[in-house]
Amino acid sequence: MDKGLPWALRALPTLVAAARADKRAGVRPVIWSTAPLVSNLGLAWAASVLTGAELHVDLRDAVDGINSRPMPWLTRRVLTRARTVTTVTPGVARMIDRRTSINANLVYNGISEDAHKARVSGRVEATGWIDVTYAGALYGGDRPYRPAIELLRRASKLLPNDMKGVRLRIATREALDDLLAEPSGDRFCIEHCGELSKKKALDLAARSHVNLLLLGSGEIHRCGIPLKTYDLLGVGRPVLYFGPGDADALGFMRTFSPDLYHAVDSERDTSALAGKVSDWLYQSAQAESSSVSEPSASSQSRLIMEIVEGRA
């Protein structure tokens, strides 16, 4: 978690002391920064300069300024000092290649084979409603939640008569007074589930007919793969993707779960898509869970460490 510059300044003496202790003990100090956050990268870079430790950088998302002109001083210094640079998204790798002489290593998250097999099986309970769940923040940023909700509202009206409609369940700490105050209609409703722990959110996702993934149109969203992408694919229920058509997250789903999602390009006119989305929702409500794997950061870390050790 990015705790800001004051935290980084307080942590710097501890990191420097640890690296110097390694050198005195005859151990090669290696600093591996695993976050896309400016304070963490700055901390790792400063400690590397002060101690001569090797610096390895793992960029999970687009770092602020990595694609700006000119590239910020600290960002360029971090990238040029790093012995290796890895990223989990093709978009960030392309930006690094375009702006620097560094060859970034692209390392997708790995897949573990047994995480959800026991927990998710069979069909979701039939209530007459198609339960669509979204877990996470709505407000702030550029998440296209209003057009997504409007599309679900229109699609609900086109469902066959044996379905009551669409029930959108939103799990977030934010107050949804504006959305809940809007008239929903007979075949569409919104339920506010409040803030949930990750385990409870995943359990809710596993009991949903469909899970909603919203992605903004900014470059950081296009070039990042939110962790919830892996989580939702892991529970094995169909995912309705609503975001840019060229985002890395969508490319990841095309590669690893081509039969588990339906994509709506939020940057195009979606007014004519209600019928297609309605049909897909209906089919998804009948589908059995298909979870046989869950993306795992541990196997990704092993791949990154192999890269780090190979450059030692």
- pLDDT band of residue 69 (cuts 50, 70, 90) is low
Higher-confidence residue of 117 and 84: namely 84
Residue 67, pLDDT above cutoff 90: no
Which residue(s) pair with 261 in the sheet? Answer: 239
Which residue(s) pair with 131 in the sheet? Answer: 167
> Residue type for 125, please?
E
The confidence score (pLDDT) of residue 118 equals 37
> What percent of the chain has a predicted confidence (pLDDT) above 90?
39
Segment 56-85 mean pLDDT: 78
The confidence score (pLDDT) of residue 89 equals 77
Segment 216-240 mean pLDDT: 81
Segment 39-55 mean pLDDT: 91
The confidence score (pLDDT) of residue 65 equals 64
Where helices occur in 52-197 by DSSP H, the ranges are 73-81, 90-99, 145-156, 177-181
pLDDT per residue over 7-34, tens digit each? 888 889 999 999 999 999 999 899 988 7
Residue 56, pLDDT above cutoff 70: yes
Q: How far is CA 54 from the centre of its chain?
A: 29
Count of other CB atoms within 10 angstroms of residue 26: 6
The confidence score (pLDDT) of residue 2 equals 53
Q: 246 and 254 in contact (C-beta within 8 Å)?
A: no
Segment 307-311 mean pLDDT: 77
> What percent of the chain has a predicted confidence (pLDDT) above 70?
84
Segment 56-82 mean pLDDT: 77
Q: How many Cα atoms sit within 13 Å of 296 on the Cβ side?
A: 14
233: helix, strand or coil: helix
Q: Quick check: pTM over 0.85?
A: no
Q: Diameter of the chain by CA atoms?
A: 75
- pLDDT band of residue 288 (cuts 50, 70, 90) is confident
> Residue type for 306, please?
E
Give 11's DSSP letter: H
In angstroms, the CA 74 to CA 81 distance is: 11
> Residue type for 145, please?
Y
Which residue(s) pair with 30 in the sheet? Answer: 54
Segment 118-140 mean pLDDT: 77
Higher-confidence residue of 62 and 207: namely 207
Residue 116, pLDDT above cutoff 50: no
- pLDDT band of residue 297 (cuts 50, 70, 90) is low
The confidence score (pLDDT) of residue 123 equals 61
Segment 295-310 mean pLDDT: 70
Mean pLDDT of the chain: 83
In angstroms, the CA 164 to CA 290 distance is: 25
In angstroms, the CA 191 to CA 154 distance is: 17
Segment 218-237 mean pLDDT: 79
